[in-house]
Amino acid sequence: MTKKLLNIVVFSGAGMSAESGIPTFRDSNGLWENYSIHEVATPQAWKHDPDLVTKFYNQRRKNILESIPNEAHLEISRFESINPITVITQNIDDLHERSGSTRVLHLHGNIMQSKSSGPDTEKAYYDINSWELKSTDKCPDGYRLRPHVVWFGEEVYELSNAAKIIKEADILIVIGTSLQVYPASGLIHETNPDCKRYIIDPKCEEMIVPSDFVKVNSSASAGIKTVLENIKKVLTKG
């Protein structure tokens, strides 16, 4: 008898990579402490000082390249041998991919890629093969290359793809996101009524989510282990 596979979706945020040493945005040692969002993560910031923005993301890329996937990333990728998992991440790091996950959708871009800073009609992304994007790096249309990161005030192109994936989920696992940034946070409401929903976060007790969410008050690595063990039991029983 062939086993029935479930449609499992993980929706991750900065807390997913916290145990890899990448700071989250809104915790006290958060990334934005030394920079205001407006200085580095808006189209206006790029227009005003592209060198500062490039330098800021170069430093982040360097930190990410020096980091490795943690147990939470690895638990998710290993589970693919039992049942596929689609990851929708708000993170711009590539730790899900480096851990071996094969289905990863980046909602807010991917810091390891660049794109044209010109009118965004081309939708072409170029791999950055080191930590450094240089001010002289240009794309074929002649515009300077900027990081492939969705800045505040920019359109989230992958939103409708993400919503489609979430609508089809049997199980949604939300992990390490404060759910404070729209429109991404609205995705948790796109599930169908039968979807089983979990939220894993050390601050989940303070978070306002629909009452059917199973709250797992724990770090990403411990929480995902518990949740996936439970799902595995269901899968092997069925």
Site residues (CB under 6 A) for ligand APR? Answer: 13-15, 18-19, 24-27, 90, 108, 176-178, 180-181, 201-203, 219-220
Cα torsion 209, 213, 216, 221: sign: negative
The span from the CA of 184 to the CA of 188, in Å, is 8
Spacing of C-alpha 145 from chain mean position = 22
User: In whole angstroms, how close is the CB of 118 to ligand APR at the nearest point?
Assistant: 22
User: In whole angstroms, how close is the CB of 193 to ligand APR at the nearest point?
Assistant: 25
Q: Closest residue to ligand APR, Cβ-based? A: 15
Q: Is 108 a catalytic residue?
A: yes
Q: Determine contact, residues 3/81, Cβ cutoff 8 Å.
A: no
Residue among 209 and 235 whose Cβ is closer to ligand APR = 209
Nearest residue to 43 (alpha-carbon basis) of 122, 135, 119, 154? 154
Residue among 181 and 235 whose Cβ is closer to ligand APR = 181
User: In whole angstroms, how close is the CB of 107 to ligand APR at the nearest point?
Assistant: 7
Residue among 141 and 210 whose Cβ is closer to ligand APR = 210
- Please tell me which residue in 73, 106, 108, 148 is annotated as part of the active site: 108
Which CA distances in Å does 31 have to 22, 40, 88, 221, 235?
9, 11, 21, 21, 39
Which residues are marked as active site? 108
